[in-house]
Amino acid sequence: MAAMTYDRREQDLGNILLLEHVNVRVPDQQAATLFYIAGLGLTRDPYLMVSVENMWANAGQTQFHLPTGKPNVVQGHVDGVGSIISLQKIKFRDDWRLVIELPSELSRYVVPQGSITIEGISLTVAGIEGSRVEIAIIPHTWQSTNLRALRDGDPVNIEVDVLAKYAEKMAHGKTQGKLTAADLIKQGF
């Protein structure tokens, strides 16, 4: 069966065509196993490392990564579509370097060492120049995600850090509630 491809520049961002990778942090692996494997009928991925703190499950073409820990601040929606400028292996290392051109309206939400989600995968920003963001990909992430299927020029779904959006809103005095930094810390952010 030939692989399906989509031109994400043409899709309605309000509809999900395919979730290739979903990262859901869970507080308890035993409960997650009961829910995702026994309850929902997903299958464990036999090719990826699992442990008492890390599980991978498949539902058709969708891959669920279920690490134990505090939740990421990723909402799972698409803020915009970027384009891969380059994806290269770093010479003499097992790491990779990914450079993406962001839509100009999203670059203000991205900072070095901050979070960005590419194709549903939460990653750390290594650097940013203008609307180009650089991401260093460690071997575990490279082997465990669909990033290795991407090519130069490919469009990619982007989600920026929601905390940056809240910070912008608070800085401009447009908040409705009384969310404070202390509240965020108390919630584990």
Question: What residues contact 170, with CB distance under 8 A and at least 6 apart?
Answer: 179
Q: How confident is the model at residue 39, as a pLDDT?
A: 79
Q: How confident is the model at residue 97, as a pLDDT?
A: 93
* Higher local confidence (pLDDT), 6 or 154: 154
* Higher local confidence (pLDDT), 186 or 139: 139
* Within-domain flag for 47: yes
3-state secondary structure of 149: helix
Structural domain containing residue 54: 21-65
26-35, 109-118, 153-162: least confident range: 26-35
Amino acid at position 85, single letter:
I
* Within-domain flag for 75: no
Q: How confident is the model at residue 106, as a pLDDT?
A: 92
Which tokens sit at 47?
């090719």
**C-alpha distance across the termini of the chain, in Å:** 43
| Spatial contact of 22 and 59, defined as CB atoms under 8 Å apart | no
Q: Tell me the pLDDT band of 72, cut-offs 50, 70 and 90.
A: low
Mean pLDDT of 20-36: 74
* Within-domain flag for 139: yes
Amino acid at position 40, single letter:
L
Same domain, 97 and 135: yes
pLDDT in tens, 31-58: 877 887 887 788 877 666 566 677 777 7
Burial group, residue 125, by CB count within 10 angstroms (0-12, 13-18, 19+): middle
* Within-domain flag for 95: yes
* Within-domain flag for 173: no
Q: How confident is the model at residue 156, as a pLDDT?
A: 93
Same domain, 123 and 93: yes
Same domain, 95 and 31: no
3-state secondary structure of 47: coil
Instruction: Check the CA dihedral 161-162-167-172 and report its sign.
Output: positive
Mean pLDDT of 96-102: 95
Same domain, 91 and 127: yes
Tally of domains in the chain? 2
Same domain, 96 and 147: yes
Same domain, 87 and 146: yes
* Within-domain flag for 104: yes
- Indicate the residue among 6, 39, 65 that finishes a domain: 65
CATH of the domain at 98: 2.40.30.20
As a whole number, the mean pLDDT across the chain is 77
- Examine the pLDDT at 65 and tell me if it is beyond 60: yes
